Structure 1
Amino acid sequence: MPPEAPELIWLRPERTGRGPRPAHSRDSIAAAAIVIADAEGLEAVSMRRVAAALGAGTMSLYNYVPKKEHLLDLMLDAACAEYRLAPGPSGDVRADLTRLGHEQLTIFRRHPWLPALVVARPGIGPNALRYTDHFLAVTAPTGLPGGARMEAMAMFNGFICQFAQYEQTAAAGAKWQAEMVGYLTQAAMSGDYPHLAQAFATSGPPADPDQAFDRALDRVILAVLASVAG
């Protein structure tokens, strides 16, 4: 009995080296799927749609990508290839993480479907590993052990995913947002929630999204650095 094929697509060779050169590649398939997801959302991506975009038969695509989950993995890793990572750490952890955070948010804004996929199916493809290695390199000066830096990366990525998803929700539900602000303002003025009233009194007008991101990102980074002192 032949050995069972690996579950992870990264453990499967893209081609055996025998026979004619294939008409498609994992990269071209992922690129076609991303075009569809960017235009219509992740739910619009199917093997049939991708095959049609490539001018291929649906069943022939399974020779390259055995199942839909593998396609999602390829899409996520293709998006990770868009990081313009610095050649190496600058030695300033705070500055390096700030740059990395902005780079990640830019990619998430470019691909609105991506944050949810990162949360649901974290990437471990070659480009995702390149990002991970870079994060570990820039946080090495903290002196934190590798496991703690991996935890810090999860917190860092989770915050940016959540921020990007909040932006999408706000953009799609302006009326809901306005009603929520009005409701919370009334609650704060009722006298039943004194700490909420104090927060509203000192928060000022709504911040520009980029300013809000900068401020929150800096707090996350400071939390990572504070764990060193702890």
Structure 2
Amino acid sequence: MAGRSGEPEVIWARPERTGRGPRPAYTRGDIAAAAVRVADADGLDAVSMRRVAAEIGCGTMSLYNYVPRKVDLYELMVDLVSGEYDLSRAPAGDWRADLMDLAHQARGIMRRHPWVIRVMSSVYSISPNALRVLDWTLAALEGLDVPPGTKLELFGMVNGSVMTFVANEQAVAERTRSEPWSAEREQAVRGAYMVSQVATGAYPHLAALFAQGVAPVDDPEAAFDRMLRRLLESFAPQ
């Protein structure tokens, strides 16, 4: 956001309300909570300055005194749901276990607020709650003997992997809701088609894989943990 000087500004560096006048009737927390309620109920596309203003009971133009831009509103929303991480305990001293726990918490937040994947990015990594999560993570990684920059990369890769995993879960769930048949039936039909294509000989490496036996698709929880373990082990010193 650019100020009068033309320099970028950060929403967190601004006062709660610009200009003089009576004490603000609403806090940023009130506004963020209203926007999150709208997004949780009707999706991110339903979040507008007009809708959020109506939700808290103020005029649309008045809302701009608190939140200058819609992207600032998104930042407030991401920060609010980032406050759902439970960081009340100190890291356990096992950095793998600590990051596994953090990743499971992230997955839970993304499931409760499906819209957050669309707006979450490194741009929002300087918000108060985001900084608390990062600081806790760095405390958990004190026992990992890698350069500081590598620790930041690990943090980013864990978040990115969780986002990708949950986004796929959401896509599968949405397709299932939109079709009259069961997910199992569609999976069976697609599996049969794939087998028929591999049998043509056009995909020799897939055929060799199938000949060795392909592990059955297991539950998402096991797949999620397996993904995390492999990722974390890749950062362990050799």
TM-score, structure 2 as length reference: 0.86
Displacement after TM superposition at 1:153 (Å): 1.0
Is structure 2 residue 222 aligned with structure 1 residue 211? yes
The one-letter code sitting in structure 1 at the alignment partner of 2:198 is: A
User: 1:193 aligns to what?
Assistant: 203
* 1:169-188 equivalence runs, <5 A: 169-174=171-176, 178=187, 180-188=190-198
Q: How does 1:155-170 map to 2 (within 5 A)?
A: 155-170=157-172
Does the 8 A contact of 2:106 with 2:162 survive in 1?
Answer: yes
Shift of 1:207: 1.4
Q: Which runs of 5+ in 1 are unaligned?
A: none
Quick check: 1:73–1:123 contact (8 Å CA) kept in 2? no
Of 95, 100, 114 in structure 2, the residue corresponding to residue 112 of structure 1 is 114
Out of 109, 131, 140, the residue aligned to residue 129 of structure 1 is 131
Shift of 1:224: 2.2
Q: Is the 8 A contact 2:100 2:228 kept in 1?
A: yes
1:12, 1:180 → 2: CA distance?
Answer: 53
Partners of 2:32 and 2:73 within 8 A in 1: yes
The AA in structure 1 aligned to 2:117 is P
Question: 2 CA distance for matches of 1:73 and 1:36?
Answer: 15
Where structure 2 has 5 or more consecutive residues not aligned to the other structure, the ranges are none
| Aligned-partner Cα distance in 1 for 2:121–2:221 | 22
1:222 aligns with 2:233: yes
What is the aligned partner in structure 2 of residue 138 from structure 1? 140
Partners in 2 of 1:190 and 1:57 — Cα distance?
Answer: 65
Residue 20 of structure 1: how far off its partner (Å): 2.6
Q: Contact 1:82/1:107 (CA < 8 Å) preserved in 2?
A: yes
Tell me the residue number matched to 2:153.
151
Shift of 1:32: 0.5
Conservation of the 8 A alpha-carbon contact between 1:93 and 1:138 = yes
Shift of 1:21: 2.1
Aligned to 2:44, which of 42, 66, 71? 42
Q: Of residues 17, 23, 31 in structure 2, which corresponds to 1:29?
A: 31
1:57 aligns with 2:66: no
Q: Give the 3 Å change call, closer, same or farther, for CA 148–78 of structure 1 in structure 2.
A: same
Distance of 1:41 and 1:204 partners within structure 2: 36
- Counterpart residue identity of residue 152, structure 1: L
Amino acid at match of 1:31: A
**Bigger helix share:** 1
Alignment counterpart, residue 103 of structure 1, candidates 99, 102, 105 = 105
Query: TM-score, length-normalised on structure 1?
Result: 0.88
What is the letter of the counterpart of residue 147 of structure 1?
G
Task: For residue 135 of structure 1, report the CA deviation from its aligned partner.
Answer: 1.4
| Contact residue 18 and residue 65 of structure 2 kept, 8 A | no
* Cα RMSD (Å): 2.3
Distance in 2 (alpha carbons) for counterparts of 1:35 and 1:224: 38
Contact 1:136–1:149, Cα closer than 8 Å, also in 2: yes
